[in-house]
């Protein structure tokens, strides 16, 4: 894959250092080289290592109880990366004073996008107008994408009654690195996400030459996700429809090799036509050894569901390891796909009383995921039954993409779907009950010290 990058001199704004304090305190040199053409701004947005890698979902992956680990692995990784072990057990103290990549990487992306907003200072030539629009729209999308991911980890779940008072995350909308930004509120964070995404939707093209650049369907997916968190199902249906009108392709698992060592190669999405926006994280270190997919989740797959063989493989010691990432065997895909749009539309439809259209969406996805000779459409069901099936399908289809943590948080507001997570480690039980403060992760220790923010209760 060809990925271009544009290197700025005196790069305080673009240091790859994980040290947030140094990163944010560096002053920008007014004499440093800054982009002054549409092409150079595009190069910034094509920096794959910043924009499309190290997505802000690691805490959601370790906290969602989609897998188990043996005690020996937990002990090893507690010394190396404490947030992986402490987050896995939902401890009150997670970071032990160490830097948090989820936070640092999100604000690194945001800082990049804020610089790209200077593209407004350029008057594009007629031949540059489409590229100018795409670059600015991409930057707005990535900023909204990053704020959305931060909100799912460090803000309380969206609640209409309390959103105007629940603490948000800092809305850094400037690349002035020494400027301080307050936490604001959840309502303000969501409003900014929607504003950026709606503007991006008007600017990005229907199609992009690479899946690491967002197209209209990708932006529509983000907006559908936002409104799913807010419980606005009319908007979810609208944006899911819009995204699928732009791109509606599902891969037939009957036509690919599902029993190989990995379902997809490391080709950055080239072999998966469903991808709307490519984003990944490195495989969590603790999951290399002893990873065992959740037994309750595995029991949801029918014997003829091709995802069972495609997503999982049994190790010599009996664990069910995950091999279904669209980012290949060593990275975890956490981007957007058409199948997610189909499932969001199905959920919105059934919640709005459109039961048969929701079943149509569900059956269509099943056609592409079940062995052809064993596929049986679901022909009937009341709204409650179909909603349960759709939510179950989200667990199966979107496994280990960071989505489960988001779903658990929003569904805990509904008594019929509220879930208590449980784990056993070191001979003792651990649990995370609905309504517990630990559904919202603490802000990083160094960020509290640096900016004097109010800490989230744990």
What pLDDT, in 10s, does the model give residues 281-308? 988 777 778 999 999 999 999 999 999 9
pLDDT value at residue 177: 80
Model confidence at 187, in pLDDT bands (50, 70, 90)? Answer: very high
Q: Which of 384, 390, 432 is nearest to 409 (CA)?
A: 432
Domains along the chain with CATH numbers: 20-254+335-451 (1.25.40.390)
Helix runs in 204-305, H state only: 216-230, 233-246, 295-298
Residue 16, classed as helix, strand or coil, is: coil
pLDDT value at residue 29: 40
Average pLDDT over residues 389-408: 98
Q: What percent of the chain has pLDDT over 90?
A: 88
Model confidence at 197, in pLDDT bands (50, 70, 90)? Answer: very high
Q: Output the average pLDDT for the chain.
A: 92
Q: Is the pLDDT of residue 26 over 60?
A: no
The three state secondary structure string of the chain is CCCCCCCCCCCCCCCCCCCHHHHHHCCCCCCCCCCCCHHHHHHHHCCHHHHCCCCCCHHHHHHCCCEECCHHHHHHHHHHCHHHHHHHCCCCCCCCCCCCHHHHHHHHHHHHHHHHHHHHHCCCCHHHHHHHHHHHHHHHHHHHHHHHHHHHHHCCCCCCCCCCCCECCCCCCCCCCCCCCCCCEHHHHHHHHHHHHHHHHHHCCCCCCCCCCCCHHHHHHHHHHHHHHHCCHHHHHHHHHHHHHHCCCCCCHHHCCCCCCCCCCCCCCCCCCCEEECCEEECCHHHCCCCEECHHHHCCCCCCEHHHHHHEEECCCCCEEECCCCCCCCEEECCEEHHHHHHHHHHHHHHCCCHHHHHHHHHHHHHHHECHHHCCCCCCCCHHHHHHHHHHHHHHHCCCCCHHHHHHHHHCCCCCCCCCEEEEECCEEEEECCCCHHHCCCCCHHHHHHHCCCCCCC
- Distance separating alpha carbons of residues 346 and 354, to the nearest angstrom: 9
What pLDDT, in 10s, does the model give residues 86-99? 999 999 999 999 99
CB-based contacts of 320, cutoff 8 Å, min separation 6:
292, 293, 298, 312, 313, 314
Average pLDDT over residues 62-68: 97
Model confidence at 3, in pLDDT bands (50, 70, 90)? Answer: very low
Instruction: Read off the pTM.
Output: 0.93
The tokens of 129 are what?
């107008």
What pLDDT, in 10s, does the model give residues 244-271? 999 999 999 999 999 999 999 999 999 9
The answer to whether the CB of 134 falls within 8 A of the CB of 150 is: no
Average pLDDT over residues 52-74: 96
The answer to whether the CB of 41 falls within 8 A of the CB of 128 is: no
Q: Which of 214, 173, 178 is nearest to 197 (CA)?
A: 214
The answer to whether the CB of 318 falls within 8 A of the CB of 291 is: no
Q: Which of 6-15, 296-305, 348-357 has the lowest mean pLDDT?
A: 6-15
Strand 280-282 to strand 421-425: parallel, antiparallel, or no bridges (unpaired)?
unpaired
The tokens of 116 are what?
């790209």
pLDDT value at residue 18: 35
What pLDDT, in 10s, does the model give residues 217-234? 999 999 999 999 999 999
pLDDT value at residue 324: 97
pLDDT value at residue 33: 60
Residue written as token pair 């992009």: 208
Q: Which of 172-181, 193-202, 344-353 has the lowest mean pLDDT?
A: 172-181
What pLDDT, in 10s, does the model give residues 310-327? 999 999 999 999 999 999
What pLDDT, in 10s, does the model give residues 143-161? 999 999 999 999 999 999 9
pLDDT value at residue 287: 78
Q: Is the pLDDT of residue 106 over 80?
A: yes
Q: Is the pLDDT of residue 195 over 50?
A: yes
pLDDT value at residue 178: 82
Q: Which of 22-36, 166-180, 198-212, 416-430 has the lowest mean pLDDT?
A: 22-36
Strand 320-322 to strand 312-314: parallel, antiparallel, or no bridges (unpaired)?
antiparallel
pLDDT value at residue 289: 86
Average pLDDT over residues 436-445: 97
pLDDT value at residue 288: 77
pLDDT value at residue 45: 98
Q: How many Cα atoms within 13 Å fall on the side-chain side of residue 317?
A: 6
N residues, the chain:
458
């Amino acid at each position: 894959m060809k990925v271009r990058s544009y290197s700025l001199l005196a790069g305080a704004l673009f240091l790859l250092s994980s040290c947030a304090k140094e990163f944010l305190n560096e002053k920008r040199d007014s004499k440093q080289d800054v982009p002054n053409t549409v092409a150079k701004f595009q190069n910034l947005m094509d920096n794959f290592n910043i924009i499309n890698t190290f997505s802000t979902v690691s805490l959601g992956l370790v906290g969602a109880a989609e897998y188990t680990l043996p005690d020996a692995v937990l002990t090893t990784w507690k010394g190396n990366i404490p947030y992986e072990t402490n987050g896995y057990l939902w401890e009150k103290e997670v970071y032990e004073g160490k830097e948090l990549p989820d936070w640092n990487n999100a604000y690194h992306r945001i800082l990049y996008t804020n610089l790209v907003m200077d593209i407004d200072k350029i008057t594009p030539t007629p031949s540059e107008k489409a590229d100018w629009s795409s670059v600015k729209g991409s930057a707005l999308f990535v900023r909204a994408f990053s704020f959305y991911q931060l909100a799912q980890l460090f803000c309380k779940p969206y609640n209409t009654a309390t959103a105007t008072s629940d603490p948000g995350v800092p809305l850094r909308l400037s690349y002035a690195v020494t400027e301080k930004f307050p936490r604001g509120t959840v309502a303000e964070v969501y409003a900014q996400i929607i504003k950026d995404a709606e503007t991006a939707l008007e600017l990005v093209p229907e199609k992009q030459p690479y899946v690491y650049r967002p197209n209209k369907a990708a932006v529509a997916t983000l907006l559908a996700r936002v409104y799913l968190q807010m419980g606005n199902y009319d908007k979810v249906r609208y944006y899911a429809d819009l995204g699928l009108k732009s791109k509606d392709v599902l891969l037939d698992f009957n036509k690919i090799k599902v029993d190989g060592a990995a379902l997809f190669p490391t080709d950055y999405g080239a072999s998966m036509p469903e991808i709307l926006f490519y984003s990944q994280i490195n495989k969590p270190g603790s999951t290399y050894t002893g990873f065992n997919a959740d037994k309750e989740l595995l029991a949801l797959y029918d014997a003829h569901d091709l995802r069972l063989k495609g997503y999982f493989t049994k190790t010599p010691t009996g664990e069910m390891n995950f091999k279904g990432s669209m980012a290949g065997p060593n990275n975890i895909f956490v981007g957007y796909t058409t199948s997610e749009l189909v499932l969001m539309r199905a959920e919105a439809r059934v919640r709005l009383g459109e039961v048969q259209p929701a079943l149509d969406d569900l059956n269509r996805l099943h056609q592409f995921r079940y062995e052809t000779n064993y596929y049986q459409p679901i022909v009937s069901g009341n709204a409650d039954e179909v909603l349960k099936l759709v939510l179950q399908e989200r667990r199966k289809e979107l496994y280990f993409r960071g989505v489960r943590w988001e779903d658990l948080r929003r569904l805990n507001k509904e008594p019929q779907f509220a879930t208590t997570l449980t784990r056993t480690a070191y001979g003792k039980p651990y649990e995370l009950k609905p309504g517990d403060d630990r559904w919202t992760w603490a802000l990083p220790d160094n960020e509290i010290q640096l900016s004097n923010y109010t800490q989230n209760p744990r």
